[in-house]
Structure 1
Amino acid sequence: MIKRTQRELEMGEKTLESLARRIGELDELIEAENSTEEFVRSMRNPNTVRKTTADVNKIEQWLLSKNESRDICDIPPAELNNYLAHFFMTATKQNGEEYEPDTLKSIQCSINRFLAEKGSTVNIVEDREFKHSRDVLVSKRKMLRQQGRGNKERRADPFTQDEIEILYSKNFLGGANAKALRNTVYLNNAMFFGMRSRTEHINLKWGDVELKETSTGAKFLELSERATKTRTGVTGDTRAFAPKMFEDKGNPRCPVQMYIMYKEKRPDTMLAEESPFYIGINKKSKGDAWYVSQPMGKNTLGNIVKAMCEEAGIQGRKVNHSARKTAITTLVHAGIPPTLVQQHSGHKSLASINNYSTASLNQQKDMSDLLTSHFSKASETVGTPQEFSENIDVLDTVLQDIGNYEFNNDIVNNMSATASVPFPQLKELFTSATINGNVTINFGKQ
């Protein structure tokens, strides 16, 4: 047995203590890293997380069908590029139907996002190594569009003025009852504040909307916007101004008065700043307590527009986004500059506003009527064969007074009696006209 000196024993103990301390620090570091990663994951948009998981599962199941069991992150770029190319070309839904063109593109983005989250250095959307799979994706999307897919059949339809009137007349909007008032407040928030997703409405708190007055005493509501899908608050990408809705005195549909009425019908316990803005309806109430001290269900809130339109018999694809779309298309069609519309809606780019610049139903009808009127008038001016012959005689009579006039009867005789360009009121054509020199008028054959 080796005998240690006191100094060696002390040095050994210090070494063990240092090692134990280092191990403890390493454990803390690992724990901190895990907790920070968990924190980052918790702040991701839940809808994006679900979408990413579902899309990655599609490619993973497809890889398994090709006897490829490696993790997608472990597949070398050249092989992964080849797999992706075949996936985009052949992948279908579980029922055998083709994907929509934009769905395939979103799957590509989900796979790329998943790889980045896993620490992979490849980028299938930009890297040169994945050009072939991108070319295949472009070709597949082109083929699907040629087959009639991707025509945006699920695009939300905005409300027309007539449809709004129907909803008010049938008490699905207005202040006649709790449901109508709740529907009205929801539509006003979506239209005047530019709110869009169900999540934004679910996260809306009572204190986020504040009733204020201008220096002249005009009342208005102002939204203190929380982080949204588009404006996360990370890069300071806030709106140019806080969204507002101003009162319209004397108008029974005044948005500010609808808000005040909604406030009066709420329980006092639901007027705190952190109380949910949308709350459930008190189905047992016979007095002023129209609502209960509970938040509105997510599914109910998510289908609020669809439900009331179906009950009212409103046609078209009316969903919650229809309210926001109504606001933006109304401003665009009214000639409001796109930059101001963008500031109101909160879009990051002007290009997004162009998606709302399509002609409204009334505008499409006006264009159709204009074209119908144009062709109807054109047909009215053709005239009968007899009228055509009479017009030729009138032309001859008028031109006889012009010196050096030659009339080519052969051409006139060969002209179709149903010519699309007759000669009505030809005398007026040369009234007050001064013609000098030799003049030849040629009539082209029909």
Structure 2
Amino acid sequence: TNSYNTIRKTKHEVRRFALYLEDTFNEKCPIDELKPEQLCTYLKHYFGNVRKADNTEYEPDTLRSFMLSIERYLKSRQYPYNILESPVFASCREVIQEKRDTWAKPTKNISNSKVEAFTSEHESLLRQMNIITRDTPDGLLLELLINNSKYFDQRGNESTINRSLLWGDLEIKTDPTTSNEYIEYKRSTVNLRAYANPSQSNYCPVASLRLMTYHRPTQCSNADAPFYLVPRTSTDQRVWYKTIRAGRHRLDLLIQQSMQKAGVQGKFSCMSLRKGKIKGLLIPSTNSELLDLSSSNSAKKVKRESTTSNSSSVMIKPADIILPLQPSENHQDDIPSPIAVSLNNKRKLTSNDTFHALYSAAHLKSSRQSKINLLRKYLEDTLGLVEFLTLYEYLSRNSYIKLQGTPIEHYEHILPVLLTLLMLENTA
């Protein structure tokens, strides 16, 4: 229940917005009866042009409060769209985000010269203190932010910490000669790659990017969606991030607060990452045979030593190499062959294990999300995080699979749990 002051503020802001529409567009229709596309157009114009009584601009946070008031009113009128999260209203949210990004631009050159460089020692400290972690939305976002700068920022090239960085600018691929996975950065004139490190999964850039794929909202999984998204505060749901792009101000704040938690003095921002990379202070792991940066000229590639452990490491194909939705004659050959690894070094999965997992979930007298969390934890503990995410993504994207005589046959006993998890997550 909203307080008296909140209700009064909501009425005031909605009345003001309605008067603006009437004066500017001669629009007299109640805002809760407008079509979503038309309402979005009006909101964009309003947030971009509304002024104070002295004709000065409102601060971005004030505009955000206007949006919250309008959303409260629309929700009370049972409007079918949420302007804070619906993709239909993404462009009007962008107007406020752009203002937030440019709000401090007059002091940009001064502030950038004063920031400290972010080094590999800083990264190690944040990992030791569990600030860089894959257990929270902020921790995972911070890891990707550092990884992108560490592997792909180059002098003279556009920074990866840029509001224009898109989800499709980074892609997980597989080296055809070595079967090693790598992330390819597409915004550079040269072919920059960050190779997977299966022997140290906590430091593996491919594993963190794949985990981000799992926790992103489906509306932001297309190639032209923004890469950095605003994190949610809760991890109860599979989706950890909102459909709102995380602007430069928010990312700067994430880095500064992380360094303060670690007890490091000084001013830090996104520019600190690029500064550390350019100066050679933020470097990839010493496992250069797995984490080299290579150019498009294959003659310049750093020779990787043949010390990778193929027997104990599970190399998973990237998400873009999947079965087609329609069955084909050579269906078996299309299945990612690296999934068919030897299971000698892994605990053999049995139908008894599957029974106990499903039985526990069935008798759990709790919410659907609690059952999802229980099954997901079982699968992560049994298969490992990377292998679980790959299988989950593979099954969720394909309506037709062939079991016998394919690599999927190795997971026959675990499939009931995976499919039950999919069923629960696809149930409204």
Normalising by the residue count of structure 1, what TM-score does the alignment of the two structures yield?
A: 0.35
Per chain length, whose mean CA-contact separation is higher, i.e. which structure has more relative contact order (CA < 8 Å, sep 6+)? Answer: 2
Which is greater in Rg? Answer: 1
Normalising by the residue count of structure 2, what TM-score does the alignment of the two structures yield?
A: 0.37
